Amino acid sequence: MNVIETAIPGVYIIEPQVFGDARGYFFESYNQKEFDQKVMPVRFVQDNESCSSYGVLRGLHFQKGEHSQSKLVRVVKGKVLDVAVDIRKGSPTFGKYVSVELTEDNHRMFFIPRGFAHGFSVLSESAVFQYKCDNLYCPQSEGAIAWDDPELAIDWHIPASQVLLSEKDKRHPTLSQADYLFDYQTSLY
* pTM given for the model: 0.95
From the candidates 12, 118, 131, 172, give the one annotated as an active-site residue.
131
| Greatest C-alpha distance within the chain | 54
Which tens digits make up the pLDDT trace of 25-77?
999 999 999 999 999 999 999 999 999 999 999 999 999 999 999 999 999 99
Interatomic CA distance for residues 19 and 28, integer angstroms = 9
pLDDT for res 115? 98
Q: For residue 172, indicate whether it is catalytic.
A: no
Q: For residue 61, indicate whether it is catalytic.
A: yes
Interatomic CA distance for residues 93 and 168, integer angstroms = 27
Segment 20-25 mean pLDDT: 92
Which tens digits make up the pLDDT trace of 166-178?
999 999 999 999 9
Q: How far is CA 1 from the centre of its chain?
A: 19
Contact 141, 133 (CB under 8 A): no
pLDDT for res 8? 98
Length of the chain equals: 189
From the candidates 12, 61, 97, 118, give the one annotated as an active-site residue.
61
pLDDT for res 4? 97
CA torsion, ordered 157, 161, 164, 168, to nearest 10 deg: 110
Which tens digits make up the pLDDT trace of 116-166?
999 999 999 999 999 999 999 999 999 999 999 999 999 999 999 999 999
Specify the DSSP element, H or E, that contains 35. helix 32-38
Handedness of CA 74, 101, 16, 92 (dihedral sign): negative
According to DSSP, residue 184 is labeled T
Task: Say how many CA atoms lie within 13 Å of 85 toward its Cβ.
Answer: 27
Which tens digits make up the pLDDT trace of 102-118?
999 999 999 999 999 99
Buried b (16+ CB within 10 A) or exposed e, 151-180: ebebebebeeeebebeeebeebeebeebee
E strands, the chain, are 2-5, 12-15, 18-21, 24-27, 46-53, 57-63, 71-77, 79-86, 88-89, 97-103, 109-112, 116-122, 126-133, 142-144, 182-183
**What are the two backbone dihedrals, phi and then psi, of residue 70, each rounded to the nearest 5 degrees?**
-90, 150
